[in-house]
Chains A and B, each alone.
Chain A
Amino acid sequence: MAASIAYVGGHLQYGVNFCMGQSYKQAIWVPSVTFNGCLQRELSWSCGVSKFLQIRKCNLFRSRTNENWKSFGTVITSAYLRDGSTKYFDFAVIGSGVAGLRYALEVAKYGSVAIITKAEPHESNTNYAQGGVSAVLCPSDSVESHMQDTIVAGAYLCDEESVKVVCTEGPDRIRELIAMGASFDHGDDGNLHLAREGGHSHHRIVHAADMTGREIERALLEAVVNDPNISVFKHHFAIDLLTSQDGSDTVCHGIDALNTETQEVVRFISKVTLLASGGAGHIYPSTTNPLVATGDGMAMAHRAQAVISNMEFVQFHPTALADEGLPIKPKKTRENSFLITEAVRGDGGILYNLSMERFMPLYDGRAELAPRDVVARSIDDQLKKRNEKYVLLDISHKPREKILSHFPNIANECLQHGLDITQQPIPVVPAAHYMCGGVRAGLQGETNVHGLYVAGEVACTGLHGANRLASNSLLEALVFARRAVQPSINYMKSSSLDLSASSLWTRPLVPKSLGSDVMHKILRITKEVRKELQSIMWKYVGIVRSTSRLQEAEQKIGKLEAKWETYLFEHGWQQTMVALEACEMRNLFCCAKLVVSSALARHESRGLHYMTDFPHLEESKRLPTVIFPSSHTTGTWSSRQLHQQPIVKSMV
């Protein structure tokens, strides 16, 4: 589907003018938010470009030959009703990380809740967040200070309203977590122990030893399990949102999911849906994210006509352990990267390329002690210039006892793979860690799709701007999950479940008819295609970018996607068929393309987005990047919902 990308001015949370083909219209948002009248005028455009907008029409895909939309009256549904089932809930939550669970616990007081999660409930980015959660919990600290730190880290691209809301409400959210049973470290004087992470002017990081995310997840899950109004559907992979058109509005009615244990499709009809599906780290080959982070929510939302924002801001860590450089390779591919701390460089570690040249002094006078972003770019530059897979971080010149006592984790991990870090350098490569962008959310977590709310990493609330401040992600998830509660309840109360709605959309199909040989081939190809996509993303859409490389990425991804889809359909795959690997692949394609498009649209360098042909900050471009889906129904398999969108005639 063709997409238009634009910079949109200032405090755009509450109203969006977007281009649907030639005409434009204003989406209607939750009425409680205010709207800046001046902005509205400035944002409107015709085919010309106003000074506040930069529009880039994205024709990423060759249009397919027109497929006829079946009017819903002729959809044959009886054949599909036999397998799978339909479930009805007041609230459907996609994802079981901190955002999803927190929201579920609140809305469960008002209605029935289904939590749909693709693996075990604790498998989420939240669980791997070991650091802490930031909040103003100290009398000498202030909301203003936290706001300022956030905005500076975000390279001034943050939405100030979002920042204010998060920093203000954070402390209350932490207190609630404690009341729910999360145990955070305290001092022996009984007060919460607060750490101070880079970028923060005050001590404000609340943590539970070194497994804060896990502790929060544990506490929330325990409460969820004990809540009679909440049903958790684990190993249910969300396929597509169920949406309809009500005039110019898109409305969300629920979600189709695949039970990956029983291979059955389950349709969830819900009055309200919360997307809390987390990140998309696996569009890159090296990532800290667990395997579940394949950008499912961002892709589903984009297909459902939700607006996406700031996808170019991908946070990388410069020094993850590079398995390729280990003498004994891990038996199976490491699921998520092992990050090597700044402390190694801080304690005197030196970076070398594979020719044993110390390269950091070429990039920055502070050499290895330069800021992390500078180090990340330098490493990326070396790798691309020299076409190599990793660089070396050498601490072996330091005393052996110090190395082993400070970094036992690294020492152990490397020793298991044949490397002694007291003697040899450590192979390192940057790893993708966090997506600052995502589904555009208003201050209540609302999106431009009615009945669809977002929270957590999948959302783009404007908090992070162009770069996330440490420990702000758990906080964002908590605050926005909570804020989405009241509007969700209001919306839920004013809508009713149409029990016949279930038959309005074609049901996804499990590919039993293909047979195991063909499925085996398809799975194998899909696995290779995933690796190829990740390789393209790393090579052309890494930390140091350029227009030519991004355009090349666009081409290559387009070709790869076409090749993959052709293979599938040639082997009998049908439009409505679903399998976990294939659905993840289409989501990865979708997210990868969103990142590339967004990166191409930003002609400046800001925060995490660095372009060699636009290496400086441009004040005039201090605007979010926004992707509006068009109403075109043609496009690739990854860009269309599996079912069709019926025109609503008389939906209750």
Chain B
Amino acid sequence: MAKTSLSRLFASLSEHSIAKPSFTGSRSESVTRSAYNSVTRFVCSSAQETQLIREERSNEGDREAAKENLESVNKEEDEGEDGDHVNKETGEVGGPKGPEPTRYGDWERNGRCSDF
């Protein structure tokens, strides 16, 4: 798989040393760690944040957490600035198109399962 575009924030800068944060459970801390190299940000959004972002972004209805969802609906997906696919539901960039791969607990793509 070719390394893609600059919009991918995690470039191969092996000479950068990575600071080791400790997760204290406070969300605000996670974003403002100055020890991090600005190019390589590893902090994730919490599930709640993701939920908020989803709710703010789309008015498509109530898509529940992956495991509970039994209905999958085809949605139009946005294209990012440089062609990277952006999932409207989750905000994931460059991820798998179509229904959430883990919606039934295993990892599936187009019907084929690769992890469970």
Residues of A in contact with B (beta carbons under 8 Å apart): 128-132, 136-142, 171-172, 174-176, 178-199, 202-203, 205, 207-211, 214-215, 218-219, 223, 317, 338-347, 372, 405-411, 413, 433, 470-471
Contacts and interface: CB of A to CB of B under 8 A. Distances in A.
A195 B107 CA distance: 10
B114 A339 contact: yes
A47 to B, nearest CB: 44
25 contacts: A137-B43, A138-B46, A139-B24, A139-B26, A139-B46, A141-B23, A142-B23, A178-B10, A180-B12, A181-B3, A181-B14, A185-B93, A190-B41, A191-B41, A196-B47, A196-B65, A209-B1, A223-B14, A339-B113, A343-B108, A345-B104, A346-B70, A407-B110, A410-B110, A470-B105
Contacts of A219: 12
Nearest to B12: A181
Given A139-B46, A140-B27, A198 B105 contact: yes
Contact of A343 (B18, B46, B111): B111
Given A186-B8, A197-B105, A339-B113, A202 B1 contact: no
A470 B104 contact: no
A195 B8 CA distance: 18
Nearest to A219: B12
Nearest to B29: A139
Closest 10 CB pairs of A and B: A198-B105, A131-B115, A181-B12, A407-B111, A131-B107, A341-B108, A130-B114, A409-B110, A410-B111, A339-B113
Interface in B2-36: 3-4, 8-14, 16, 18, 20, 23-27, 29-30
A189 B50 CA distance: 10
Contact of A195 (B11, B16, B66): B66
B25 A176 contact: no
Contact of B47 (A202, A342, A406, A433): A202
B40 interface: yes
B70 A198 contact: no
Contacts of A191: 41-45
Contacts of A408: 110-111
A135 to B, nearest CB: 10
B111 A346 contact: no
Contact of A197 (B1, B11, B107): B107
Nearest to B9: A190
Given A140-B25, A178-B10, A189 B53 contact: yes
A185 B94 contact: yes
Contacts of A214: 1
A418 to B, nearest CB: 18
Contacts of B96: 209-210
B99 A406 contact: yes
A401 to B, nearest CB: 9
Contacts of B27: 139-140
Interface string B87-116: 000111111101111111111111111111
Contact of A130 (B8, B90, B105, B109): B109
Contact of B3 (A183, A193, A197, A470): A183
Given A140-B47, A209-B94, A211-B1, A180 B14 contact: yes
A140 B48 contact: yes
A642 B48 CA distance: 58
B59 interface: no
B10 A184 contact: yes
A31 B3 CA distance: 43
A195 B24 contact: no
A215 B86 CA distance: 20
Given A138-B44, A139-B29, A132 B9 contact: no
A339 B94 CA distance: 24
Nearest to A321: B112
Contacts of B48: 140
Contacts of A208: 1
A182 to B, nearest CB: 8
B93 to A, nearest CB: 5
A195 B12 contact: no
Contacts of A178: 10, 18, 40, 42
Nearest to A193: B92
Contacts of A128: 114
A409 B91 contact: no
Given A186-B9, A188-B86, A340 B112 contact: yes
Nearest to B81: A188
A341 B110 CA distance: 9
B105 to A, nearest CB: 3
B72 to A, nearest CB: 6
Nearest to B86: A188
B92 A406 contact: no
A174 to B, nearest CB: 8
A210 B43 CA distance: 21
B50 A195 contact: no
Contacts of A179: 12-14, 16, 18, 40
A372 B115 CA distance: 13
A193 B95 CA distance: 9
A171 B43 CA distance: 11
Given A178-B42, A372-B116, A471-B115, A130 B95 contact: no
Contacts of B24: 139
A132 B114 CA distance: 9
A198 B67 contact: yes
Interface in B28-83: 29-30, 40-48, 50, 53, 65-67, 70, 72, 74, 80
A210 B109 contact: yes
A286 to B, nearest CB: 14
Given A130-B107, A409-B110, 15 more contacts: A140-B47, A178-B18, A181-B11, A185-B94, A186-B92, A186-B93, A187-B44, A192-B42, A197-B116, A198-B105, A339-B113, A341-B104, A405-B98, A411-B111, A471-B115
B10 A195 contact: no
B91 A338 contact: no
Contacts of B90: 187, 193
A130 B4 CA distance: 18
Contacts of A339: 112-114, 116
Q: Which residue of B48, B91, B98 has the most chain A CB atoms within 10 A of its CB atom? A: B91
B56 to A, nearest CB: 11
B111 to A, nearest CB: 3
A140 B46 contact: yes
